[in-house]
């Protein structure tokens, strides 16, 4: 059975993430905050090869694609078949696409098309480090409502993932992409209504621009049991056991207020299953609604235990402020 483009995309993205994690783990130096992708596109020009591909059918519907075989490909070329009137895509942006790919030697589909007709668009990031490079080149810097043809090699289309599709590195490939939507930007901070603080627990002040919290520890002994308090109450979906959540968070030590971890410092939210973190963090997430901001005071028994973790000693109570951005199951 042939690999679908959506499945190939998912596996290629996972491989890129694993490679990135391996690269990070090989260095003893801390990583700096993530830098957003530059708002620029590669200059992929139209040429005789891309122009020779005839594409018909309505935008958003499965395209009918015709070209002479074998197609001769010497460079990557892009021709815009339909120019849309919507928002123009930018580097680093997440978009919804229709995807189709064809073997330039045989003229046959390499894999079933995805994201056309009544099917939901395939969600993709305009970043060749996060998505298949051929589809990035096809969709970047085009208005929503556009359809483009890209001609390139198998490697130019799929990167090293071409091997999963049974094509060779230099085989010609035709890609047709419909830029169907630009989903709303995901939340980067809690949007719920403020809740009165709980006396005796740490106080939190938010940066007006970014939402990043500053946490002030009271001059008292920490509680002996985990304490969970709402700082903002959201009205979104309730987080269930085992859900995968996207959150912003900051963690500090009760004994001195020192920060030991922060998604804000890394420049992007974190995603994980509620069952894959320390018990106190799980308690802070499950049962809460998306859009909420939660304060969690976690003693060692619900944290890292007697062994501790890095700067966290075996006797440390830790404090988290958590913004719950989304949940899925």
Note the pLDDT tens digit of each residue in 209-261: 999 999 999 999 999 999 999 999 999 999 999 999 999 999 999 999 999 99
> How much is the average pLDDT of 27-43?
46
Q: What is the pLDDT of residue 22?
A: 30
Is the per-residue pLDDT at 166 higher than 90?
Answer: no
Tell which of 150, 181, 212 closes a domain.
181
> How much is the average pLDDT of 29-56?
71
Q: Which of 148-157, 178-187, 277-286, 320-329 is the least confident region? A: 178-187
The answer to whether residues 83 and 171 belong to one domain is: yes
Going by pLDDT thresholds of 50, 70 and 90, the confidence category of residue 8 is low
As a whole number of Å, the CA-based R_g of the chain is 24
Each residue's pLDDT tens digit, 143-154: 999 999 999 999
The answer to whether residues 160 and 89 belong to one domain is: yes
In a domain, 36, yes or no: no
Tell which of 181, 207, 234 closes a domain.
181
Least Cα distance to 123 among 328, 262, 292, 273 occurs for 328
> How much is the average pLDDT of 118-123?
90
CA torsion angle 162 167 172 174 (round to 10): -70
Is the per-residue pLDDT at 37 higher than 50?
Answer: no
Q: What is the pLDDT of residue 20?
A: 31
- In terms of Cβ atoms closer than 10 Å to its own Cβ (0-12, 13-18, 19+), residue 116 is buried
In a domain, 25, yes or no: no
Is the per-residue pLDDT at 72 higher than 60?
Answer: yes
In a domain, 28, yes or no: no
How distant, in Å, are the alpha carbons of 117, 119, 202, 233, 279 from that of 99? 11, 11, 50, 39, 41
Going by pLDDT thresholds of 50, 70 and 90, the confidence category of residue 31 is very low
Range of the domain at 145: 43-181
> What percent of the chain is modeled with pLDDT above 90?
75
Q: What is the pLDDT of residue 80?
A: 97
The two three-digit tokens of residue 184, written as one number: 């709303």
Place of tokens 């010497």: 74
Tell which of 146, 161, 181 closes a domain.
181
Q: What is the pLDDT of residue 4?
A: 59
217 or 162, which is more confident: 217
Q: What is the CATH number of the domain that holds 152?
A: 3.10.50.40
- Please state, in angstroms and rounded to a whole number, the distance separating the CA atoms of residues 309 and 260: 10
Mean pLDDT of the chain: 88
The answer to whether residues 101 and 151 belong to one domain is: yes
Q: What is the pLDDT of residue 9?
A: 57
The two three-digit tokens of residue 18, written as one number: 């694993």
- Please state, in angstroms and rounded to a whole number, the distance separating the CA atoms of residues 71 and 47: 13
- Global pTM reads 0.58
Going by pLDDT thresholds of 50, 70 and 90, the confidence category of residue 27 is very low
Is the per-residue pLDDT at 134 higher than 60?
Answer: yes
- Please state, in angstroms and rounded to a whole number, the distance separating the CA atoms of residues 62 and 83: 17
In a domain, 203, yes or no: yes
Domain count, the chain: 2
Q: What is the pLDDT of residue 125?
A: 87
Q: What is the pLDDT of residue 163?
A: 83
Q: What is the pLDDT of residue 11?
A: 47
> How much is the average pLDDT of 128-143?
92
In a domain, 4, yes or no: no
């Amino acid at each position: 059975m042939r690999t679908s483009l959506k499945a190939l995309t998912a596996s290629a993205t996972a491989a890129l993430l694993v490679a990135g994690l391996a690269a990070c783990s090989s260095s003893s130096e801390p990583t700096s905050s993530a830098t957003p992708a530059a708002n620029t596109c590669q200059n992929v020009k139209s040429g005789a090869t891309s122009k020779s591909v005839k594409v018909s059918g309505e935008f958003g519907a499965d395209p009918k694609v015709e070209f002479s075989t074998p197609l001769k490909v010497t460079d990557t070329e892009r021709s815009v078949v339909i120019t849309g009137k919507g928002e123009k895509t930018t580097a680093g942006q997440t978009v919804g696409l229709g995807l189709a790919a064809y073997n330039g030697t045989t003229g046959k589909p390499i894999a079933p098309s995805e994201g056309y007709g009544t099917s939901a668009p395939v969600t993709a990031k305009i970043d060749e480090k996060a998505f298949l490079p051929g589809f990035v080149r096809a969709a970047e810097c085009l208005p929503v409502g556009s359809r483009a043809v890209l001609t390139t090699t198998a490697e130019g289309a799929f990167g090293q993932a071409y091997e999963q599709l049974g094509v060779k590195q230099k085989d010609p490939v035709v890609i047709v992409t419909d830029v169907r939507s630009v989903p709303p930007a995901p939340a980067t901070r809690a949007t719920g209504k403020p809740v009165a603080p709980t006396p005796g627990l740490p106080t939190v002040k938010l940066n007006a621009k970014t939402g990043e919290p500053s946490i002030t520890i009271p001059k008292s002994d920490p509680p002996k049991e985990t304490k969970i308090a709402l700082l903002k109450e959201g009205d979104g979906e309730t987080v269930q056991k085992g859900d995968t959540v996207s959150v912003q968070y900051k963690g500090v030590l009760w004994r001195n207020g020192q920060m030991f971890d922060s998604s804000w410092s890394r420049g992007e939210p974190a995603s994980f299953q509620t069952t894959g973190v320390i018990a106190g963090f799980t308690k802070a997430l499950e049962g809460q609604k998306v859009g909420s901001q939660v304060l969690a005071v976690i003693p060692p028994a619900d944290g890292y235990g007697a062994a501790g973790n890095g700067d966290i000693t075996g006797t440390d109570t830790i404090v988290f402020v958590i913004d719950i951005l989304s949940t899925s199951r």
